[in-house]
């Protein structure tokens, strides 16, 4: 076997190995009573949670992840975007300090440059920095000889049309912001991270959205998309497919979606019980293995969040944890079954370089 073919086989095996766990958990730290990062990493491992989203480069958490084999989304926080966008040396320093220093022992999966930045949601002061920061971080990652996908996380409020799902489209007043980001992602084979919360849609529309549709418990089609003839039994699928349709319309048909946050709170709001949270999250873990009606393939997904965070507000924001601050589960949740049933490699799957590698080095069928 020549060296080129051996490298291809290695990439393929890495891909197959990394389709094993579809659901990770977000590790938020906005609490004053949380366990140490090492205890948190140990809890991830003991509960078979193999992917983590970390919102900023907490050094103790990165050190605790050493050798853990947990795949990590590492965030560049919004308040760092301006400096990184305005200075390539700042971007290089950020990557050297927070990525390169740990890259031999921490499995970096994505770098998420900014979270829910939007021209219309109250943090518009960061809008002008996201894309340039993404480019600078991408260049710094490449210069360091690493292959880590650079992306950003958005909220579904960027959609102007979301119903029916096939008519999903981004708001006209965000197109100048999101379209260049989509072009960057498409050009680099990267997915868009999306924070998708059926809970909030349900809470705002209890008169028209049933609880069973929000919790994955409907046994029959609730919504039929008259334009696509696709049937929807749950709100999560409808929201994700609306995002896919919006990407299509914005020239991003090759851009995949990673659900970087979703979940259900246990107190402080409408239908916020531990039983409902247990139902939503366990059903979600099973459901994302098979994708949506529009894209019936496994969806990489991250539950929000590992712990209740007592420094958040309003009240419902404090109660999204799978675990209490003393590491006790608030309900039973099983990550051992978080394995896709249809993980056939495709252009939108990870690693994103695989299809490009096959085309470049193996132009004829294998």
From residue 365, give the alpha-carbon distance in Å to each of 2, 12, 358, 360, 361.
17, 15, 9, 12, 11
| 264 close to 211: Cβ distance less than 8 angstroms | no
71 catalytic per annotation: no
116 catalytic per annotation: yes
Q: Is 106 helix (H, G, I), strand (E, B) or coil?
A: coil
| 336 close to 48: Cβ distance less than 8 angstroms | yes
How long a stretch of residues is the chain? 366
Q: Is 51 part of a structural domain of the chain?
A: yes
> What does the alpha-carbon distance between residue 159 and residue 91 come to, in Å, rounded to a whole number?
30
Q: Domains in the chain: how many in total?
A: 1
pLDDT at 22: 81
> What does the alpha-carbon distance between residue 306 and residue 87 come to, in Å, rounded to a whole number?
34
Which residue reads 């084979």 in tokens? 189
Q: Is 4 part of a structural domain of the chain?
A: no
Side-chain-facing half-sphere of 240: CA atoms under 13 Å: 30
Cβ contacts of 283 within 8 Å, gap of 6 or more: 215, 216, 217
Q: Is 167 part of a structural domain of the chain?
A: yes
pLDDT at 331: 97
Cβ contacts of 109 within 8 Å, gap of 6 or more: 51, 71, 72, 73, 148, 149, 350
pLDDT at 336: 77
Kindly state the tokens that stand for 99: 């990525």
Q: Is 359 part of a structural domain of the chain?
A: no
| 351 close to 16: Cβ distance less than 8 angstroms | no
pLDDT at 122: 87
CATH of the domain at 122: 3.20.20.80
Catalytic residue among 71, 116, 278, 300: 116
Q: Which alpha helices (H) appear in the chain, and where do they start and end?
A: 3-17, 37-46, 59-64, 81-86, 88-98, 130-143, 175-187, 198-204, 211-214, 235-249, 274-287, 353-361
Closest CA to 192 of 306, 115, 81, 132: 115
pLDDT at 337: 64
pLDDT at 2: 52
Catalytic residue among 71, 261, 300, 309: 261
Q: Which domain holds residue 229?
A: 19-350
Q: Is 217 part of a structural domain of the chain?
A: yes
pLDDT at 8: 44
Kindly state the tokens that stand for 151: 């992306």
Q: Is 13 part of a structural domain of the chain?
A: no
Cβ contacts of 361 within 8 Å, gap of 6 or more: 4, 8
Q: Is 155 part of a structural domain of the chain?
A: yes
Closest CA to 72 of 58, 88, 83, 85: 58
Omega within 30 of 0 (cis) for the link into 234? no
> What does the alpha-carbon distance between residue 309 and residue 311 come to, in Å, rounded to a whole number?
6
Closest CA to 248 of 171, 321, 167: 167
Each residue's pLDDT tens digit in the chain (366 positions)? 454 444 444 444 444 344 444 899 999 999 999 999 999 999 999 999 999 999 999 999 999 999 999 999 999 999 999 999 999 999 999 999 999 999 999 999 999 999 999 999 889 999 999 999 999 999 999 999 999 999 999 999 999 999 999 999 999 999 999 999 999 999 999 999 999 999 999 999 999 999 999 999 999 999 999 999 999 999 999 999 999 999 999 999 999 999 999 999 999 999 999 999 999 999 999 999 999 999 999 999 999 999 999 999 999 899 999 999 999 999 999 887 665 444 333 333 443 333 322 222 223 233
Q: Is 185 part of a structural domain of the chain?
A: yes
């Amino acid at each position: 076997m020549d060296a080129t073919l051996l490298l291809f086989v290695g990439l393929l095996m890495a891909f197959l190995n990394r389709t094993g766990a579809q659901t990770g958990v977000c590790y938020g730290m906005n609490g004053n009573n949380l366990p140490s990062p090492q205890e948190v990493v140990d809890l991830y491992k003991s509960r078979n949670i193999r992917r983590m989203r970390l919102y900023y480069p907490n050094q103790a958490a990165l050190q605790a992840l050493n050798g853990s084999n947990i795949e990590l989304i590492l965030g560049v926080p919004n308040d760092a975007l301006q400096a990184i966008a305005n200075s390539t040396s700042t971007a290089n320093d950020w990557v050297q300090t927070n990525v390169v220093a740990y890259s031999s022992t921490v499995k970096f999966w994505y770098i998420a440059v900014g979270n829910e930045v939007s021209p219309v949601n109250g943090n518009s002061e960061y809008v002008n920095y996201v894309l340039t920061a993404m480019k600078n971080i991408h260049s710094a990652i490449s210069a360091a000889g690493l292959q880590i996908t650079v992306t950003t996380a958005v909220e579904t409020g960027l959609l102007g049309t979301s119903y029916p799902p096939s008519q999903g489209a981004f708001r006209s007043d965000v197109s100048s912001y999101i379209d260049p980001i989509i072009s960057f992602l498409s050009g680099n084979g990267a997915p868009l991270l999306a924070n998708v919360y059926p809970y909030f849609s349900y809470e705002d529309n209890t008169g028209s959205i049933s609880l069973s549709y929000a919790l994955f418990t409907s046994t029959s089609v609730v919504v039929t998309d008259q334009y696509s003839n696709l049937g929807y039994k749950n709100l999560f699928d409808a929201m994700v497919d609306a995002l896919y349709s919006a990407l299509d319309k914005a020239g991003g048909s090759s851009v995949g979606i990673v659900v970087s946050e979703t979940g259900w709170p246990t107190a402080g709001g409408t239908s916020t019980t531990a039983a409902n949270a247990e139902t939503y999250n366990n059903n979600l873990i099973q459901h994302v293995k098979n994708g949506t009606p529009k894209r019936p393939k496994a969806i990489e997904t991250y539950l929000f969040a590992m712990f209740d965070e007592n420094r958040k507000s309003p009240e419902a924001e404090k109660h999204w944890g799978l675990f209490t601050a003393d590491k006790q589960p608030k309900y039973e949740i099983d990550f051992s079954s978080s394995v896709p049933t249809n993980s056939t490699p495709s252009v939108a799957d990870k690693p994103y370089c695989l299809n490009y590698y096959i085309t470049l080095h193996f132009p004829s069928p294998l």
